[in-house]
Amino acid sequence: MTTVAIADDQSLQRMGFRMLLESQDDITVVGEAENGSEAVRLAADRNPDVILMDIRMPGTDGISATKQIVGSGGRTRVLVLTTFDIDQYVYSALRAGASGFLLKDAQPEELLNAVRAIASGDAVVAPSLTRRLLDQFIGHLPDDDVPDPETASELTDREKQVLQAMAEGLTNGEIAERLFLAESTVKTHIGRILQKIGARDRVQAVIYAYDVKLVKPRG
């Protein structure tokens, strides 16, 4: 059973999400929050697999709440819900540790699939969309948590090649084709990369690649 919490300042929105989620046999909603502070407490108290996080909430916003939840070291992963597909808030949320984002007008099946994917450890952001986000906002927003470029020296040359390809928006299959590797080998490399750089998922690894200048923004 996948446990989910909902953080949104609009009660009708929360009710709609709850009705959809609880219509599934494998998903249960363990709580709701109407602001970021409540979301942080809810994550600590209920320890859900996934929390649906609205970005723009009064008081503590979804970005600050995401950073606190991820920084606590718990198992809860954050799925950001936003009205706009490309904006600085989405970028900031991903950098804060969110495992993905969806538009609020996404189809019901998209939301359900995203919740299940994130609960299983995947990230829910299309590679090409991640690249567009980072090209647009990397370097423009201050962040005290940018990693030391020296940490990249822990990666092998092959791992750096795989990480660069990930940051360019390539899928595992495309990386395998470019580097003449089996797709299973690519997955193994990605697992080692995540472990070495301390990233929770593919999105965080791509942000890392930009931060340590393995990849530079286009244009």
Which domain CATH number covers 195? 1.10.10.10
- Please state, in angstroms and rounded to a whole number, the distance separating the CA atoms of residues 196 and 154: 7
- Domain shared by 103 and 20, yes or no: yes
- Domain shared by 20 and 115, yes or no: yes
Does the residue 141 lie in any domain? no
* pLDDT value of position 168: 80
pTM over 0.75: no
- Domain shared by 105 and 166, yes or no: no
Residue 211 has phi, psi (to 5 degrees) of -60, -40
- Please state, in angstroms and rounded to a whole number, the distance separating the CA atoms of residues 84 and 210: 23
* pLDDT value of position 94: 81
Q: Which residues of the chain have pLDDT under 50?
A: 142
* Joined tokens for residue 111: 């939301």
The total number of structural domains that make up the chain = 2
Question: Regarding beta strands 50-54 and 27-33, do their DSSP bridges make them parallel or antiparallel, or are they unpaired?
Answer: unpaired
Does the residue 106 lie in any domain? yes
Does the residue 143 lie in any domain? no
* pLDDT value of position 139: 56
pLDDT, one tens digit per residue, over 86-139 is 567 777 888 888 888 888 888 899 899 889 988 887 766 655 566 666 666 665
